[in-house]
Chain A
Amino acid sequence: MTAVTDGVLAGTGPDRRARQAEIVAALQPLLPAHALLWQAEDTVPYECDGLTAYRERPLLVALPETEAQVAAVLKACHGLNVPVVARGAGTGLSGGAMPHAMGVTLGLARFNRIVQIDKYSRTAVVQCGVRNLAISEAVAQHGLYYAPDPSSQIACTIGGNIAENSGGVHCLKYGLTLHNVMKLRGFTAEGEPVEFGGDALDAPGLDLLSVVVGSEGMLAVITEVTVKLTPKPQLARCIMASFGDVRHAGDAVAAIIAAGIIPAGLEMMDKPMTAAVEDFVHAGYDLDAAAILLCESDGTPDEVEEEIGRMKAVLVGAGATRLSVSENEAQRLRFWSGRKNAFPASGRISPDYMCMDSTIPRKRLADMLLAIAGMEKKYRLRCCNVFHAGDGNLHPLILFDANDPDQLHRCEQFGADILETSVAMGGTVSGEHGVGVEKLNSMCVQFSPEEREQMLRLKAAFDPAGVLNPGKVIPSLHRCAEYGRMHVRKGLLAFPELERF
């Protein structure tokens, strides 16, 4: 396989300038002058996404405004064998939109139009640069919303959500991005128009939509999306339950599911996290609890009443020491405020933090918390834990000071240990943030050489020249051989003020 290799075409100095001039000359006739940036001061803002630890200056940035321009840029880049990295709002957390040193960053933020809202068919057609939350806001008047709600939804775009197959706090009940998208319209690596999925519930042939969603911009460039809209539940109420022991909290999660309940949201915070967020939002969290569960029910008032009753019985049976049920919307949002502000709250108690994103079977939640407690001692660093407990997705936040090289090193080892422990527990290295560049090495742990090779062949089937976002997601065989027992790199975040997860 030659299509995708790490650092393809990397270069500096006169070669770089000559290449840049060549590409500028090729793209200038295709775009308005303001839509092409190549001076250093203009391209610097694009040098990273939400994962700020990884930076690269692109050769140039193209900001097309029409689909015809996207097609023309892709054709030209394909002809010149230039890597193309598509980018939305740049809020991604795994470096998926990190530029290629010898490539073009294709900024799609100008595709920000809601094309059509159809109440009758419960669908909306939106351009890729429309923000996730903007869709729900635009359709709220019809009693509908777009269900996947990554916590960065105020800023992240639907195009980025497609690239990452984003989740959120409600995906156990309402599904991931894939389950809420019907049709994608965009272009192949060659710049040829293509559609995946359709207006019907399925499409003929292989289900290419399912592999394009979550492919981190490596299989096609998507410009327009038809999303499925969901009727807004009449009511949502949330239970906040305290547990004196993390095992009891972990058992409670399993017990809820075993009772046949699929909560609208089911989240867990450990004691250090609770202390950090309470200090930040003053929501009245129980500071004595070893772990707190937030368990939400939505539906008709009768339905919620019935389900809340069943949930309470299970939580008490599992050993909850304190229970409160939100009595109104303000209180419900207050229960969630700490959970949603876990990141900024961590930023207040530590100079830096590294966020992990692995998923494990639910029944191992308590084991994982105890394993992390052991790692805190081993690596002499603190860790706060927030989990999407309902689907086993973990977001441990390892606290450290990046100015201390030894702390940084221990933090990296700590993170790699969590990922490898997750894989060993039957889980995966990324639940919703994507692999990008951040978890390339961890992919070596999770997949065999043959499996990675098959993924590279799949990539080549869509993009034989290997120009779309090369070097991301699937590590080369060579890289995995080098990785050996080395550990993953740090993951510092941009946009610390944004609610996350």
Chain B
Amino acid sequence: MSEPSSTEMNQATGPAADAVPRDLPAAVEASTEIALGASISAEAGAPSVPAIEPALRRILDVVREAAAHERALCLRGSGSKDFLGGPLLGEPLDLRPLRGITSYEPTELVVTARAGTPLDELEAALAEHGQCLPFEPPRLGRDGAGQPLGGTVGGMVASGLAGPARAAAGSVRDHVLGACLLNGRGELLRFGGTVMKNVAGYDVSRLLAGSMGVLGVICEVSLKVLPRPPATRTLRFDMDQANALRHLNEWAGQPLPLQASAWWDGILVLRLAGAEAAVASAARLLGGEAIPPPLAAGFWAGLRDQRDEFFLHAEAVLAAGDGESTGFSLWQLSVAPTAPRLEVAGETLLEWGGGRRWLLSREPAGRVREAALAARGHATLYRRGAGTAAPDDGAIFAPLSAPLLRLHQQLKAAFDPQRIFNRERLHPQL
């Protein structure tokens, strides 16, 4: 059996490994110090107690100290998703020193990376082997100089945000295979693993996707990755929203290689991806106008990173008013894909075959939530306009039913009894 191209952390990160921020000197230590990856990738003997590398040791100390004094911590990577969720409470805990790809084996379709690994570093390593993160996580945020912040692996998992391919490829959660978690007791725990099928114990690692850090510090994750599809093609159609919704749902019921969709302002754009033959025959069947590949690639990247025309427009509207309230908010509604056009005023961008609907609106939170419920889904207050007040109940995410809220509180107590991690970020009562 030939040796698969296994890459250890420093090799996998390539040139980017040199780009570790200078104020975090111990970020990536020699590979002999690997702690996080040690027990799951151990090839001989049962999981051993890993040696603690310095970057992790410091985080452990901060967490134990915070737990002892019941002091709140605000877990943070690049800060590209600071806008998302409830308030940022507590002392910031920078996880970027926990950086690097621990292992990547293309033939296993699995990559393991530490929380602070920049997303673009991870994706570059995958691209070298023709692989990708199928759920297309957005690369959000700009620093003061307008450079992309890009986000980190930990933030990607904690936020659970996915891009255009989500309806076809699955969510962040669907690709989490294992994780190393630092809980509120200061214990380092591993759940899941690096294999595709694993039903040993409760699936805690997947529960971390979208948890907004409220259960603990996601120190490291193992993700299922996939080969990039051999062929893609983008088609454009002129049609109104009702027609777009109907077509998207009908097409989704046929064996077509539909990978992504977007509708805005009378235009539906589809991306087909798969084997060349499948893409070609689907394109013939569906018709529409073929978009030239470079233009299409730019469009999808813009949509994925929330920098396309709709989002830039939304950003301008939200920022308008020079500090005064514009009254506008950008909502993300996750609804039944078949739900008809929402009965709420505002501009809408559809994605995920109708399952995700972005709404730029001045309607009060209550109205938007009602519309989401009527569409058998829920609404997230994604970005608030400058000076626009928060909803009365303070909830950024949709409210939970009574039994679910109780389960959330009990789970929070089970993982983080002192409530030190990301207080109120996912829910005002967590």
Contacts and interface: CB of A to CB of B under 8 A. Distances in A.
B160 interface: yes
A18 interface: no
B191 A431 contact: no
A200 B336 contact: yes
Contact of B42 (A178, A192, A214, A424): A424
A251 B107 CA distance: 10
B204 A427 contact: no
B63 to A, nearest CB: 14
Nearest to B226: A262
Contacts of B98: none
Interface of B: 1-2, 4, 40-47, 105-110, 130, 160, 166-167, 170-171, 173-174, 183, 187-191, 193-204, 206-207, 209-211, 214-215, 226-228, 230, 249-250, 252-256, 274-278, 280-282, 334-338, 352, 355-356, 376-378, 380, 397-401, 403-404, 407-408, 410-411, 413-415, 426-427
A403 interface: no
A207 B173 contact: yes
A451 B354 CA distance: 40
Given A258-B106, A303-B275, A360 B200 contact: no
Interface stretch (A37-45, A59-67, A275-283, A458-466): A458-466
A114 interface: no
A417 interface: no
A208 B206 CA distance: 9
Contacts of B415: 454, 457-458
A139 to B, nearest CB: 10
A297 to B, nearest CB: 9
A257 B109 contact: yes
10 contacts: A120-B250, A172-B196, A199-B335, A214-B202, A260-B227, A300-B278, A361-B105, A363-B105, A388-B197, A448-B189
Contacts of B198: 359, 428, 430-431
Interface in A433-447: 433-435, 439, 442-443, 445-447
A347 interface: no
Contact of A211 (B160, B202, B376): B202
B404 A215 contact: no
Given A214-B202, A257-B107, A391 B195 contact: yes
A443 B46 CA distance: 11
A424 B45 contact: yes
Contacts of A210: 173, 203, 206-207, 209
Nearest to B352: A201
Contacts of B254: 143, 231
Contacts of B188: 450
A192 B2 CA distance: 55
Nearest to B214: A206
Quick one: which of A257, A305, A420, A429 has the most chain B CB within 10 A? A257
Interface residues of A, number: 106
A81 to B, nearest CB: 18
B43 A424 contact: yes
Contact of B170 (A175, A367, A442, A462): A175
Contact of A450 (B4, B187, B200): B187
Nearest to A249: B1
Contacts of A215: 202-203
A391 B196 contact: yes
Interface string A146-188: 0000000000000000001101000110011011000000001
B344 to A, nearest CB: 16
A272 interface: no
Contacts of B203: 165, 178, 210-211, 213-215
A408 interface: no
A322 B166 CA distance: 40
Contacts of B380: 204
A91 B226 CA distance: 33
B105 A200 contact: no
A219 B202 CA distance: 10
Nearest to B355: A201
Contacts of B167: 201
Contacts of A300: 255, 277-278, 281-282
A137 interface: no
Contacts, number: 299
Contacts of A179: 170, 174
A194 B196 contact: no
A205 interface: yes
A201 B352 CA distance: 9
A477 interface: no
Contact of B199 (A165, A232, A299): A165
Given A200-B376, A458-B202, A361 B195 contact: yes
Contact of B204 (A211, A303, A362): A211
Contacts of B174: 175, 178-179
A117 to B, nearest CB: 12
Contacts of B399: 204
Contacts of B352: 201
A179 B2 CA distance: 32
Contacts of B400: 204-205
A306 interface: yes
B43 A446 contact: no
Given A455-B202, A455-B204, A201 B196 contact: no
A202 interface: yes
Contacts of B1: 247, 250-251, 254, 363, 366-367
Contacts of A460: 410, 414
B401 A459 contact: no
A412 interface: no
Interface in A351-372: 359-363, 366-367
A432 B274 contact: no
B171 A194 contact: no
A302 interface: yes
A140 interface: no
A392 interface: yes
Given A143-B254, A461-B414, A207 B277 contact: no
A260 B401 CA distance: 43
Nearest to A298: B255
Contact of A202 (B110, B193, B334): B334
A234 B255 contact: yes
Given A201-B334, A201-B356, A300-B277, A423 B46 contact: yes
Contacts of A474: 201-202
Given A143-B253, A461-B413, 6 more contacts: A172-B196, A194-B401, A207-B210, A260-B227, A460-B410, A461-B411
Contacts of B173: 207, 210
A32 interface: no
Nearest to A433: B199
B335 A473 contact: no
